[in-house]
Amino acid sequence: MKFRHFMAALGSTVAAVLLIIVAFLGVYAWPAMRLNGFHFLFENSWNLGGLYANPITVHGQQILPGAHYGILFLIVGTVLSTAIAVALAVPVGVGAAIFLAEAVPQAARRWFSFFVELLAAIPSVVFGLWGYVVVIPFLGHHVFPFMAKWIGFVPFFGGSTGSGYGLLTSGLVLTLMIVPLITATLRDALVSQPEMLREGAIALGASRFETLRTVLLPGVRRTLIGSTILATGRALGETMAVLMISGNALNYLPQNIYAPISTMASFIVSQLDSALQDPTGMAVRSLAEVALVLCLISIVVNSFARLLIRFSGEQVRVTP
């Protein structure tokens, strides 16, 4: 066989893997999808049913009596925690990128940047450990009560502050995990803007920061949007860190910003043991449906981001 054909065949595995994953999950979750229908996305009830009762048949599927699966609270938890993370990560990421690209002297740039990129290399579970051991006590005992007292009049910022587990904590830690993605990409884009553009602005009397604000940043707009969307994708799928600090809510929506939540990703981990108790297997299949929904969302978000970046002509690094 010709070399190139052999390479093509072997290399196509990479492409096939993604399609296989979606296909298998879809097939496995199909019974659950038939049972749950569209209500799956809009209801707040994850209930395995009577575990010691005999299975009954609903919608053509064997399930335990009383079993009902709805994941609205998961969708809300995922969307809100990601939204907080992205809202915080963009300004911090842009600020840090500007600092690295413009304020740090050329020679030191590599080391300063490296320092920020190391943040991206830290495993999710270590972030979770840090969150669980250090951040939660700190926020729960000191910061949140303070916040609720002084800015509690703002909607969702008042009320019970809980013990530190919850939406805001998850959002904050997620921010740290996704910022390096934005910063690294944006820094590269800023550095590669031609010097001529800077000189043109400075010759008209703009200061260096004004040049950044009015000429350089608008010039890298598409890269910024693309990397933000990629960062969003990353935040949507974060599992371990969120699992350890979110409080693992079940079947209820957060009342304020300090309340516990669950995300789709963390739920899949936290529920496996219980789901295995269901002899009909419907619980496990419903979890698979959650995984499928999560997979499809991330595929859509990532595809959108990649296409956007491709059309801006910029190159985005694949580093995590």
Partner 1 sequence: MLRPGRMIRGMEETPAAPGPEHKEADPHAFNPKVTRFRVRGLNAYYGAKQVLFDVQMDIGAGEITAMIGPSGCGKSTFLRNLNRINETVSGARTEGEILLDDQNIMRMDVSALRRRVGMVFQRPNPFPKSIFDNVAYGLRINGYKKNLSESVEHSLRRAALWEEVKDQLHKSATALSGGQQQRLCIARALAVDPEVLLLDEPCSALDPVTTAKIEELLVQLKQTCTIVIVTHNMQQAARVSDFTAFLLEGRLIEYQATPKLFTNPADPRTEAYITGRFG
Partner 2 sequence: MSTVSGNESAAAFPGAAGRAFGRRFWDFAGWSICGLAFVLLGGAMLWIMAMVLLRGFHALTIEVLTHVTEGYAGGLLNAIEGTLILGVGGILLALPPGLAAGIYMAEFDNGRLAPTIRFLADVLVGVPSIVIGYFGYVTMVVAFGWKFSVAAGSIALAIISLPYICRTTEMAIRQVPRSLREAAYALGASEGQVATGVYLPVALPGVLTGVLLALAISVGETAPLLYTAGWSNYLWTGHLTNEPVGYLTYAIWAFITEPFAGAHALAYAAALLVTVFVLIISILSRLFVK
Cross-strand pairs, 63: 56
Among positions 212-241, residues that touch partner 1 (CB under 8 A) are 214-215, 218-219
Part of the chain binding partner 1 (CB under 8 A), chosen from 39-47, 80-88, 200-208, 249-257: 200-208
Element (H, E) at 69: strand 68-69
Selected binder of partner 2 within 41, 58, 119, 215 (CB under 8 A): 119
Selected binder of partner 2 within 86, 178, 291, 308 (CB under 8 A): 291
Among positions 93-122, residues that touch partner 1 (CB under 8 A) are 106
Q: Least distance from C-beta 206 to partner 1, angstroms?
A: 5
Q: What's the token pair of residue 268?
A: 């899949």
Determine, following the binding rule CB under 8 A, whether residue 200 of this chain makes contact with partner 1: yes
Determine, following the binding rule CB under 8 A, whether residue 132 of this chain makes contact with partner 2: yes
Does residue 233 contact residue 299 with C-beta atoms inside 8 Å?
A: no
# binding residues, partner 1 (CB under 8 A): 19
Q: How far is residue 54 from each of residues 31, 98, 278, 279, measured CA to CA in Å? A: 18, 63, 11, 10
What is residue 161's three-state secondary structure?
coil
Residue of 161, 215, 217, 213 whose CA lies nearest to 186: 217
Identify which of residues 68 and 198 has a Cβ nearer to partner 1 in the complex.
198
Determine, following the binding rule CB under 8 A, whether residue 192 of this chain makes contact with partner 1: no
Selected binder of partner 2 within 41, 58, 92, 225 (CB under 8 A): 92
Q: Which does 202 bind (CB under 5 to 8 A by kind): partner 1, partner 2, none?
A: partner 1
Part of the chain binding partner 1 (CB under 8 A), chosen from 20-28, 129-137, 198-206, 305-313: 198-206
Q: Least distance from C-beta 159 to partner 2, angstroms?
A: 27
Residue of 39, 44, 36, 41 whose CA lies nearest to 73: 44
Does residue 223 contact residue 185 with C-beta atoms inside 8 Å?
A: yes
What is residue 274's three-state secondary structure?
helix
DSSP state of 23: H
DSSP state of 99: I
# binding residues, partner 2 (CB under 8 A): 90
Does residue 166 contact residue 131 with C-beta atoms inside 8 Å?
A: no
Query: What is the CB neighbour count within 10 angstroms for residue 95?
Result: 12
Selected binder of partner 2 within 47, 193, 298, 312 (CB under 8 A): 298
Give the C-alpha separation, 217 to 114, whole Å.
22
Q: Least distance from C-beta 233 to partner 2, angstroms?
A: 4
Determine, following the binding rule CB under 8 A, whether residue 312 of this chain makes contact with partner 1: no
Q: Which does 84 bind (CB under 5 to 8 A by kind): partner 1, partner 2, none?
A: none
Give the C-alpha separation, 58 to 72, whole Å.
21
Q: Which does 279 bind (CB under 5 to 8 A by kind): partner 2, partner 1, none?
A: none
Q: Least distance from C-beta 122 to partner 2, angstroms?
A: 6
Question: What residues contact residue 67 under an 8 Å CB cut-off, 6+ apart?
Answer: 47, 48, 49, 278, 280, 282, 283
Q: Least distance from C-beta 119 to partner 2, angstroms?
A: 5
Determine, following the binding rule CB under 8 A, whether residue 197 of this chain makes contact with partner 1: yes
Identify which of residues 85 and 220 has a Cβ nearer to partner 1 in the complex.
220
Cross-strand pairs, 46: 69
Give the C-alpha separation, 245 to 240, whole Å.
9
Determine, following the binding rule CB under 8 A, whether residue 236 of this chain makes contact with partner 2: yes
Footprint on this chain of partner 1 (rule: CB under 8 A): 106, 194, 196-207, 210, 214-215, 218-219
